[in-house]
Amino acid sequence: MRLVSLELSGFRGFPQRHSFDLDADAVVVVGANGHGKTSLFDGILWALSGRIPRLQNDDTRLVSMYSDSGQARVALRLKDPATGGQLTVTRSFDGREGRVALETREGSYQGPAAEERLIDLVWPDAASASDPREALASVLTLSVYLQQDLIRQFVEAASVQDRFAAVSELVGAGRVTELQGSLERAKKAWSTVTNQRQDELRPLRERLTVIEARLSELTARASQASPAITPEAWGQWWHSLSALGLKAVQVEAASREAPTAIDNAIKQLDALGRSAERRLQALGATQTEIAGLANRPMPEIPPLRDKVTTLRKQLEDLKRVVTEEQARLAELRRHQATLKEKTEQLKALAVLALKHLADHCPVCGQTYDKEATRLRLEAIAKGGVGDTETVPGPEKLTELLAALAAKENEAAAAELALRSSEQAVNERQMAQQTISKRLSELGVIGSDDESRDATVAKAVGEANALIGRVGELQRIGESLALRLAHSSAVAAIDELRREAATLRRENAHREKVISARNRTGERAQGVIEALREAASAVVEERLREIAPLLQSVYARIDPHPAFRLVRFFSRVVRGKGQLFTVVSDPIGEKECDLPAAVLSSSQVNALAVSVFLALNIGVPKPPLSVAILDDPLQSLDDINLLGLVDLLRRTKDRRQLFVSTHDGRFGSLLSRKLRPSSQEGRTIVIEFDGWSRQGPIVVTREVKCDPVRLRLVSSLAG
């Protein structure tokens, strides 16, 4: 594939549209720095790969600051010399979004389809790369487009690993490395899933362990199990329940419902037994009460009532006597008070009379016995003379009150006795009623006490019998339930054995699957290890194939008087490939894998260009039959420069050659050296004569071949 033309607009140093005819064996681009040489070559790289790694793949840097449209656009036309088929790739970027289109003889493609088809046409080997465009850009950068900024990077700055990776990509071993990487990732994912499967197996194994332990336990118990239930015993028990009036539903002993049914039946029996016991307790209590009632004496109420009546009458009489006596004593106390008042008055009069005692009565004037009167008055004044009389005291009342109290006590006692007797009678009647009611509730009815007692005694006997029967049936039922449980345990053992067998099969199957997955993982690891070696082997093989060419190219420049041999040396360290560029002195038998240590800057440049051209020419399936060298003549001394130019001239015979230089003299040298060797050949010189905001001033001219191909030979022939 060769380049035919390039159209740039708004792209880097080309703000306005510029078209370039590139359909030549050699294109020499001459221009001062900053006039657009690198932009021209970047346009080719970007059109092909959509990437310019040197610019960190930042497309916003591609749009020219002076672009009227604000859009960078590149259209590159290529052709296949073998078929004559042409294709045009057009790529644009408007500052936000990139577009790509591809025109071929077969049809037009846009977007991803265009990218895919372009890769397929230019570098099919990149199609299987994780990032085909990146892989293509890498290969183009390493073997097609030697960029001015990166001219020495490969031999000087790149790490041995990066160098190995770059060459791996170039010689196709990049696919091997990617296969290895893919396989490593796939194996990791595979191992993760396998480990998950392993983890998922753990619950199954734990379940199996539990089941086996349970099985062991049940099996040990089953060996001590009771004899099996006979249908007769089973049926008889259920019949007995029916006979007791229980509504238990009989099921088959071997049925799954049997444990539940017998459990329900035993519960009914238990309820019946408890009911019978409560009845027995009630009957027993009633019997006790009847017996207590019979032993209790029946008091005589009428005599007690007569006595109370008598005592109440006597008490009333006595109270009346007491009242009368109390009235009499009151009257007597009033009389005595009157007398006492009179005495006091007399004493006052006596005192007055004594005070005024004279010979004659002041009232009547009569004479009187004064002495006797005085004595008399004095006696009255002293209170010793009056109408006092002796009256009976309160002794009689006291006696009466004592008698009254005694009578009241007697009457109260009699009334109490009466009330007690009446209460006892009432209580007996109530007890009788209660007993009757309770017996009625218990269904025990007797016409009289005697028959009632017998009936109660009979009921007690029946209750005792029922309790005993229920207890017996409970024991039998529990025995049946236990035997039933043993039977269930045997069934459970069978079930567990089946489940254990299923789990063992499942476990074995899964272990087999996991084991198979592990084997696959181990095989993958083996392949991975082998691929590591293989990637290196591929690189070594390819480099071994390229080695003579590299030496040939290097020898053409022959930059160093002693270090005249060059070779690649690769090795794998800890799974990572390393690539060294080794220069050696065959005569002095010296060798150095760091060329910059023994070569001058100019010589390193010459070596770098040699490596580039060796890789360009030596790559098995080049993406393009093109070699683009952006200003490779910098820092070269005369001899190296001439050697390189001669080399480029020979390269022109193998590759469509693009070389730029910032030096006009070198430009002249290149155009002369790269002249076509015949009329069929074509060499173009593109000169950038200055640059303005509209872009460079472009002058294109063609270089003619010499008029006579072999001048000396022909002159002799002539």
Partner 1 sequence: MTESSPAFTPTDLIAAASQVLSAGGYHPIRQTFPEWDTPTSRLFEDEYNVVGIVVFDTCAELLRTWPDQQGSLVEVISRHVGQGESKSWDGYLVLLTPSLAPSEGTEIEALRYNTTRLRKIVATGDDLRTPTDVERVVRPLLPLGQEQARPSQESALDLLPKLLADQGISKETTRLLIEAFREQSPLLERLHQEGGE
What is the pattern of x (binds partner 1, CB under 8 A) and - over residues 675-694?
A: x-xx----------------
Q: Does 577 bind partner 1 (CB under 8 A)?
A: no
At how many degrees (to 10) do helices 258-295 and 231-243 cross? 40
Under a CB-based contact definition with an 8 Å cutoff, are residues 572 and 532 in contact?
Answer: yes
616 scored as a contact of partner 1 (CB under 8 A): no
How far is it, in rounded angstroms, from Cα 222 to Cα 203?
28
Q: How far is the CB of 637 from partner 1 (least distance, A)?
A: 8
What number of residues does the chain have? Answer: 718
The C-alpha atoms of residue 202 and residue 378 are separated, in whole angstroms, by 141
Query: Which among 220, 224, 233, 216 is positioned nearest to 481, based on CA atoms?
Result: 233
Which one, of 68, 41, 207, lies nearest residue 693 by Cα? 68
Residue 339 vs 642, nearer CB to partner 1: 642
Which of 317, 653, 689, 702 forms a contact with partner 1 (CB under 8 A)?
A: 653
599 forms part of the interface with partner 1 (CB under 8 A): no
Q: How far apart are CA 503 and CA 698, in angstroms?
A: 84
Kindly state the number of chain residues that form the binding site for partner 1, as judged by CB under 8 A: 80
- Region binding partner 1 by CB under 8 A among candidate stretches 2-10, 55-63, 413-421, 644-652: 644-652
Residue 412 interacting with partner 1 (CB under 8 A): no
- Residue 521 in the binding site for partner 1 (CB under 8 A): yes
Minimum gap (Å) between residue 604 Cβ and partner 1: 18
> Is residue 407 within the footprint of partner 1 (CB under 8 A)?
no
Task: Among 519, 571, 590, 701, indicate the residue that binds partner 1 (CB under 8 A).
Answer: 519
What does residue 420 show for φ and ψ, rounded to 5 degrees?
-60, -40
Give me the least distance between CB of 547 and partner 1, in Å please: 7
- State yes or no: residue 625 binds partner 1 (CB under 8 A): no
Residue 413 touches partner 1, criterion: CB under 8 A: no
Token pair for residue 525?
């690891």
Q: Which of 620, 664, 689, 692 binds partner 1 (CB under 8 A)?
A: 620
What string marks each residue from 166 to 205 as x (binds partner 1 by CB under 8 A) or -?
-----xxxxxx-xx--xx--xx-xx---------------
Q: How far apart, in whole angstroms, are the C-alpha atoms of residue 595 and residue 604?
A: 7
CA distance 665 to 671: 10
618 near partner 1, rule: CB under 8 A: yes
The interface mask with partner 1, positions 422-461, x = CB under 8 A, is ----------------------------------------
Interface with partner 1 by CB under 8 A: which range of 26-34, 147-155, 239-247, 556-564? Answer: 556-564
Residues with Cβ within 8 Å of 62's Cβ and at least 6 positions away in sequence, in order, are 11, 12, 42, 46, 52, 55, 72, 93
Amino acid letter, residue 28: V
Spatial separation of the C-alpha atoms in residues 414 and 611, rounded to whole Å: 149
Pairing of strands 2-9, 590-592: unpaired
Of 542, 581, 661, 670, the one binding partner 1 by CB under 8 A: 542
Tell me the backbone φ, ψ of residue 459, rounded to 5 degrees. -65, -40
Q: How far apart are CA 62 and CA 41, in angstroms?
A: 13
Q: Which of 257, 331, 472, 529 binds partner 1 (CB under 8 A)?
A: 529
Instruction: For residues 339 and 580, give the distance between their C-alpha atoms in angstroms, rounded to a whole number.
Output: 166
* 520 forms part of the interface with partner 1 (CB under 8 A): yes
Please tell me the distance from the alpha carbon of residue 113 to that of residue 111, in angstroms, as a whole number: 5
Site for partner 1 contains 555 (CB under 8 A):
yes
Q: Which 91-130 residues touch partner 1, going by CB under 8 A?
A: 125, 128
- Evaluate the CA torsion angle 169, 171, 173, 178 in order and state its sign: positive
Could you write out the three-class secondary structure of 439-490?
HHHHCCCCCCHHHHHHHHHHHHHHHHHHHHHHHHHHHHHHHHHHHHHHHHHH
**Which one among 102, 283, 493, 524 touches partner 1, defined by CB under 8 A?**
524
**Residue choice 81, 526, 575, 664 for contact with partner 1 (CB under 8 A):** 526
**In the set 490, 596, 642, 697, which binds partner 1 (CB under 8 A)?**
642
Per CB under 8 A, 399 contacts partner 1: no
CB 520 within 8 A of CB 232: no
Q: Residue 60 carries which DSSP code?
A: G
Contact between 712 and partner 1 per CB under 8 A: yes
Q: Residue 633's CB: how many other CB atoms inside 10 A?
A: 22
When the beta carbons of 186 and 210 are compared against partner 1, the nearer one is 186
Of 61, 382, 654, 701, the one binding partner 1 by CB under 8 A: 654
CB of 638 to partner 1, least distance (A): 5
Q: Does 561 bind partner 1 (CB under 8 A)?
A: yes
Examine residue 404 and tell whether it contacts partner 1 (CB under 8 A). Answer: no
CA 185 remoteness from chain centre: 27
- Compute φ and ψ for 28, nearest 5 degrees: -105, 125
CB 115 within 8 A of CB 100: yes
Nearest CB to partner 1, comparing residues 381 and 636: 636
Which window, 19-27, 247-255, 355-363, 519-527, contacts partner 1 (CB under 8 A)?
Answer: 519-527
Which listed range, 18-26, 222-230, 503-511, 554-562, lies at the site for partner 1 (CB under 8 A)?
554-562
Stretch that binds partner 1, among 153-161, 264-272, 598-606, 668-676 (CB under 8 A): 668-676
Q: How far is CA 489 from CA 210, 439, 474, 496, 614, in A?
A: 16, 49, 22, 10, 85
The site string for partner 1 over 326-365 (x = CB under 8 A, - otherwise) reads: ----------------------------------------
Instruction: Determine if 701 is a binding residue for partner 1 (CB under 8 A).
Output: no
Q: Is 589 in the site for partner 1 (CB under 8 A)?
A: no
> By CB under 8 A, is residue 567 in contact with partner 1?
no
| Amino acid in position 307 | K
**Sole binder of partner 1 in the list 41, 151, 673, 687 (CB under 8 A):** 673
Question: Per CB under 8 A, does 659 bind partner 1?
Answer: no
Out of 438, 556, 576, 682, point to the residue binding partner 1 (CB under 8 A): 556
**Closer by beta carbon to partner 1, 442 or else 642:** 642
In the chain, the amino acid numbered 281 is Q
Tell me if 116 sits within 8 A of 136, measured CB to CB: no
Q: Which of 214, 374, 649, 682 binds partner 1 (CB under 8 A)?
A: 649
Instruction: Tell me the CA distances in angstroms from 393 to 129, 319, 334, 343, 388, one per residue in order.
Output: 150, 19, 14, 21, 15
Instruction: Based on the shown chain and the rule CB under 8 A, indicate whether residue 638 belongs to the binding site for partner 1.
Output: yes
Q: Which is nearer to partner 1, 185 or 274 (CB)?
A: 185
Q: Which of 537, 592, 598, 697 binds partner 1 (CB under 8 A)?
A: 537
Q: Which is nearer to partner 1, 441 or 706 (CB)?
A: 706
**Using alpha carbons only, what angle is made at residue 424 by residues 419 and 427, rounded to the nearest 5 degrees?**
120
Residue closer to partner 1 (CB basis): 328 or 650: 650
CB 431 within 8 A of CB 346: no
* From 51-59, 199-207, 415-423, 551-559, span contacting partner 1 (CB under 8 A): 551-559
Q: How many Å is the Cα radius of gyration of the chain?
A: 71
